[in-house]
Structure 1
């Protein structure tokens, strides 16, 4: 659902008009993300704007927008950058190692099929088109591919699915978790937590049995520095329905139509990017002190060493 773009600091900083045009094209809710490439990308943009003669009042606007929007637009996947070489040479070399979706640069003379000029960055351009909803085949691999960058960029992932069950009832949810764990292992970031929120049902085991079951079924599955939290919620009489499925994080959110359990390549689920503000409002419904739904029992926290505790 998301694509990573390399954006040359000199291209976006070449004028206030170019900055304003480009920065609004990116965001988790738009499906396009700017790679922090190099590591001090924002500083390079500001330097480029100053060198281009952008007025001080507009420089301050650039600083403010970069600061306020860095979590919503810019991702840092710790890409390699050789400071003795030009930005475009670095981008092309890194693209060969780990492809960007496209490269936005003032230098478009290089032989590369994914180079874009600033004025190419329109929604109808093949390399810039980013649908905010699509049908995704319900295989573990396809679902994981469309969650890849959101999971990789987030410190906390919230999986909301009323039917989620690690016992394998109703779908291969453990296989889905294994794919998320694999994504996390591909990116070397700080520790993170995956929080699962599922619906109450009489067939659900009490929290102490869920703890024992999770310890038995998930031992050896969690990567280092990843914790898994299992939470059961019940609807309140006359309150919000607990039906829709989501992937929510501090960065963004995706609504999932038919659910997250794999059902085979012949079925699809509709994935839709959520507006950032809406995504955070939905995420707040499942905060530890939230009161939209009734929390059932205690949460189960599974640690990388395979142990599980009630919290």
Structure 2
């Protein structure tokens, strides 16, 4: 699963070098995201850096990088952030007890196992180890959970599976779970092979979405040449993952888990461009 790591604003406000060393370790393509804890995390970093680096070029460089930080790096889960401005480290530890982080990177050491002092970070630290492949159970909840940062942040979601059919229960469950976790108003494009009756597939999608709670956005169906399709993906405008088997559940228990791989930036861009528009055969409001 994607790692969600809390980062003490004071830990990245000491210098531009410290800021860039830590921040560059995060992003969808790295399998690690900085928790938006609190929601004003950027503002707290700016405040801490301004106090420490006022009048320096380093401050300007930090401010510019902060401005460009997007949801591909900073992940919001609606954590409350109570007490962060008074004692960020203790507030993060308290929040970890409620809803665990993968790690908490701090400006000063603490005894709690989840806490990592920024000065102790290097490429061999467990919290920074490679996190781009996972074995995920082929259940709707597990599949949607592993993609949650992509679904909750993306304005456009692309589901790619040459055999997708929302009328089949093993596809319908994950499909509805993906829709449930998307951000309000996000649009979902489904790409599948063209060896089917388009009207039949569209009607089955319409029936599947007819009973869900309206949150805005659309579902669109695109057909691609069947021979050109093989890989299965869930993509948003910032990154994506590939499913080795498919976007369907396993009810037989013959292949109960799938190997899910986080796409690096180059492969993600290539797949995003491959599945970009084309002939939309059906569209539904959701």
Q: TM-score, normalised by structure 2?
A: 0.87
Question: Which residue does 1:272 correspond to in 2?
Answer: 261
Distance 1:166 1:59, change over 3 A: same
In the alignment, the residues of structure 1 paired with residue 189 and residue 225 of structure 2 have an alpha-carbon distance, to the nearest angstrom, of 16
Question: Which residue does 1:254 correspond to in 2?
Answer: 241
Question: Which residue does 2:86 correspond to in 1?
Answer: 85
Question: Which residue does 2:187 correspond to in 1?
Answer: 193
In the alignment, the residues of structure 1 paired with residue 121 and residue 55 of structure 2 have an alpha-carbon distance, to the nearest angstrom, of 24
SS at match of 2:147: helix
Alignment of 1:31-50 (within 5 A): 31-50=31-50
Corresponding position: 1:300 with 2:276 = no
Q: Deviations over 1:241-279 (max 9, x none)?
A: 221111110121112212121225552322111122431
Question: Which residue does 2:70 correspond to in 1?
Answer: 70
Query: Which of 215, 220, 225 is the aligned partner of 1:229?
Result: 220
Question: Which residue does 1:183 correspond to in 2?
Answer: 181
In the alignment, the residues of structure 2 paired with residue 79 and residue 281 of structure 1 have an alpha-carbon distance, to the nearest angstrom, of 34
SS at match of 1:72: coil
SS at match of 1:172: helix
Q: Deviations over 1:13-49 (max 9, x none)?
A: 1222311210111111001101222223223223322
Question: Which residue does 1:309 correspond to in 2?
Answer: none
* Uncovered stretches (5+) of structure 1, i.e. residues with no partner: 305-311
Query: Which of 186, 198, 206 is the aligned partner of 1:206?
Result: 198
In the alignment, the residues of structure 2 paired with residue 51 and residue 217 of structure 1 have an alpha-carbon distance, to the nearest angstrom, of 54
In the alignment, the residues of structure 2 paired with residue 82 and residue 43 of structure 1 have an alpha-carbon distance, to the nearest angstrom, of 15
SS at match of 1:214: helix
Distance 1:42 1:196, change over 3 A: same
* Uncovered stretches (5+) of structure 2, i.e. residues with no partner: none
Matched residues, number? 283
Question: Which residue does 1:263 correspond to in 2?
Answer: 250
Q: TM-score, normalised by structure 1?
A: 0.81
Runs ≥4 residues deviating over 6 A: none
The two structures, once aligned, show a CA RMSD in angstroms of: 2.5
In the alignment, the residues of structure 1 paired with residue 162 and residue 41 of structure 2 have an alpha-carbon distance, to the nearest angstrom, of 41
Q: 8 Å contact 1:38–1:79 — kept in the other structure?
A: yes
